[in-house]
Structure 1
Amino acid sequence: MTKIFVSHSTNDPKIVECFNEHFLRLALGVTEEQIYCTSVKGTLRIGEHFNDEILENLVNSDVVIFLITKKFLESNYCLAELGAAWALKKKVYPLLLDKLDFNVVNSTPFNGKQSIKVSEPSSIVQLADELSRLDTIGSSNSAQLNAKADLLFNVIKDNENTSEVPSVEEFTQLKKDLKVAQNYMNQQENTVVKLKKEVEDLKLTKDSKEVLKYELQGDSDKQTFENHIIKIRSYLKNIDPIVISAIYHENFNKDEEFWISNPDRIKELSASQLLSVDYDDFEINYNSEHPKLKKCVDLLLKLDNFLANSNKLIDSLEDEFEDVISLKNINFWDRFFKVKVIV
């Protein structure tokens, strides 16, 4: 699955939102999972080590798209991402907005690289054609693509930054800052590679339970919580909602028996050994001996136990989300696991 990293200034929120939602997702059919953009709510994982997460996603991306505005050029962090993408030899697409000319990249590693100056909607369509040519995306509806290109172009025009482009002296200093940031990103990349190797080595020498404990343990309670969430979500995304609901009721809502009127689907899930069905008492249970479900439930119970001993973390999360932080709460499953529980 192609992974697209969108590098941008957080001070260009309307442009970034329109680019992601209307152009990438609606016009080009790119899925949410294929896009890494830190301005999208929920992209940055809970915890304090967002630098490492951004670098890891940049390393694992196939394509990097730069939304270069005047605010982008004023951001050391954006320039660091630019330098890191160059160092990692990524396939990049610099889009020049805010009526910027091609000379703004002359003092960057992209000097001489083909950029797209967004001066009209057809410039945006040019990017779609390029992505399609490289099989980054599939074919798209030309009428919808043109309509979304017009919309994005108008949003770009409405949000143009009229401030002056940085002076030569300012840009020279930014270039120096870029080099420092680039060295830092290279060091962080080496750290990520080293840690990945350590995990693989650990998997070869330790049993699976020890490896899981190592993977879930974070530098803080928030990070440990988020590690649990990510691991559980990876299991739940491939499990049928009926089975998920049976797991929820049997482990976290034991007072309520679970039943749903969908005989064909229940019969299919039962035949796949995912469900056991008591037609006399109208009760559906998940198969606790199924290997995948067993691992998933084990993770859920580990998280439940972790939360039971993390009062400060719960207070913090309940204050942030203004909701009860508990696996008994179906809103918890929706918010953190991205699944709907049937009640």
Structure 2
Amino acid sequence: MAQIFISHAHKDKKLVDALADLLRLTLEIKANDIFCTSLEGMGVPSGENFISFIKEKIQDPKIVIIILSSNYYESHFCLCELGASWALSHKKLVLTIPPLAKNDLGGVLSGVQVDKIDDLDGFIDEIKEALGIKDFKTPVWNSKKDQFLKKLPSILKSLPQPERVSLEKYEKLQGENKEYKLTYKKQESEIEELKNQIKKLKKCKNAEDVKKVEKEHLPAWDNFKEICGRARESLDKLPRAVGYFIAEKYLSDGKVKLNGFNDPDLLNESVDAEKSGFLESDEGWFWLIEKDRKVKNVISVIDELADFISENDGTDFAEIFYEENDYECSLGNKQFWKKFLLPKNYFLRS
């Protein structure tokens, strides 16, 4: 039965191999007195069930040496060995491997003696006591230990390290994953929409029917109607004369000369709007004051519509709009204002 059970991560094999040699040579014990899964002659014999053999070997060693490294914490099997040694109340020694340190320990390792891999004198004293070794050759230990410590930096440098993701990168990946899911869902919806459009197109009897289906399934039309609806709703909250001058801001330079003979109603309402702080005038010329919050809101929506029209210039939307209305989609066209933006009974220059 092995007297020493070395619990370690397979990735730390090179380090464990050097440590096992140091113990075997200085303690003058046989290879089979040490159980270490990754080392030839000290691990699981060929043909044996791996898990069953380890369960047997961890039952009653005199001491369990835990090579605690970053790789150890990443190994589920190592953590099972650690739990088993705790449950069986074995004497445990812990050797920490950089970058881990004593303050990284906790849980079942609370109260356990901890030594660093480069500070082994206390560690070997505990092993001597556990194995009952009386005749210990200190000069041999010092010599072999020095040789081990000399090789240690290069061994540690050669050990593979677990790949860990920083919290910042994890959160970034989580965000990207969420974005990909939303994009996938959107694309699925678009595919379904296209399938429905194809079904309707197959039922079309003439070019006019095809145009109706294209318009119905053109996302730009929905955006256009939504923006125009918001603009009309905002304009409806203002006096009619103010809506007239907002339209003039886009149809001309915004200044209009009014007289009571040609535009009596418009002139009267414009005078009232001036008194309310919406307009200014000089010698019969009236223009809009853009400081009012309601006016700013309307202009903001109409500017949004202007951007939409510019972005969709030359697209299917622009082509279908022209075919339906016989004029370009433009804020510089009074027919456009009359049909899509100004509420009924609003003033509009002839």
Please indicate, yes or no, whether the TM-score normalized by the shorter chain is above 0.5: no
Kindly name which structure, 1 or 2, has the bigger radius of gyration based on alpha carbons. 2
Higher relative contact order (CA 8 A, sep 6+): 1
Q: With the length of structure 1 as denominator, give the TM-score of the two structures.
A: 0.43
